[in-house]
Every structure is written in C-alpha cells, then in structure tokens.
Amino acid sequence: MDETLPRYADGPSVAAEVLVAADVTDVWPLVCDIALPTRFSAELRAARWLDPDTQPRVGARFQGTNEHPQVGTWQTVCTITEYVPRERITFVVEDVDNPAATWRFEVAPTDAGTHLRQWVRIGPGPSLLNHVIDENPDHERQIVAARMENLRTNMVATVTGIKELAEQRGAG
C-alpha cells in the first residue's frame, strides 16, 4: 500500500484551471449555469434548481444526477454556501454542516482574459465513496486516489468546455 496516497479522512482536494481569452463578464454566466457542466462531464448527467426560478445565491439548492460505470446512478442535493458575483461560487453536497464534498468555481481577471479555476474537496461527511471504501478497506488509499483523478479529469473537461464557449461568446 502506498502510504503517500490520501485517505478519505484527509479531505483530499483537486483543482483544474485554465486561462480564458475572454472577459470575466463572458465567463461568469457560464460558471453560474448549474446545468452547463453536464455538457462536458462524463459523470454529471443533470442538474436542476429545487426551487422554481432560482438564481445563484447563498442558500439556493439544486439537485445533481450523476452516473458512474462502477456505482451506477445517484442523486445529490447541493447548497450554495458562498456567492460573490464575478469572483466565486461555492456549493456543498448534501449536509451543509458536514458535506460529502465542497465545490468551488473561481474567476479572476488577467491581462490576457480570465483565470478560471474549479476546485473540489471530498469529505468530511459521508458519501457514496465511503460505501466503496467499506467494501475494500485495505484499498482505501488507491480508491481515493482513483476518485480524485476521475474528478480531475471531469473538471479539466468542464473548465476547457467553459473556456471554449466563453471565447466563442467573446468573439461573437
């Protein structure tokens, strides 16, 4: 067992970032579209606001539907916990006080356009990953490392997709 790999209790995180050749005003609406990542992620299948006509704001909730070949399909409820227009939006998965994961998008203007970053930390609350770990406790570190790599791959696809759309929007 590789002791350098993270455990779930470590609260491991991963990020993906790109430089977008577009203004923050072209990037921000894409970041705030909760359903947009479904176009790029191999796992996120759907996202919808739980309250009608909801816009991003602290306390707003949405449901995500995910699918993974090893565990099937599942749904989660996410709550926005931080919203700073044209800077960052953060949401947690399931329990606000003990989230299964915390996700964040950040944008910042640069001389060349916009720096876009997506970040996630798993835990500390329980998630579907805990069930996988419970079935194979001797492989926890490898399971967590594989999950983090899977998340990173989907995040790279998402920020790259947002970049391409924003650059098209900015050129249009």
Specify if 14 maps to a domain: yes
Taking only the tens place, the pLDDT of each residue in 58-116 is 999 999 999 998 889 999 999 999 999 999 999 999 999 999 999 999 999 999 999 99
Burial of residue 61, with CB atoms counted within 10 A of its CB: 0-12 exposed, 13-18 middle, 19 or more buried: middle
CATH code: domain of residue 165: 3.30.530.20
**Does residue 2 fall inside a structural domain?**
no
How many domains does the chain fold into?
1
pLDDT tens track for 30-69: 999 999 999 999 999 999 999 877 889 999 999 999 999 8
- Domain annotation covers residue 45: yes
Residue 16 counted as domain residue: yes
Structure confidence at residue 53 (pLDDT) = 78
Q: How far does Cα 169 stand from its chain's mean position?
A: 23
Q: Supply the pTM of this predicted model.
A: 0.94
Cis before residue 37, ω within 30 degrees of 0? no
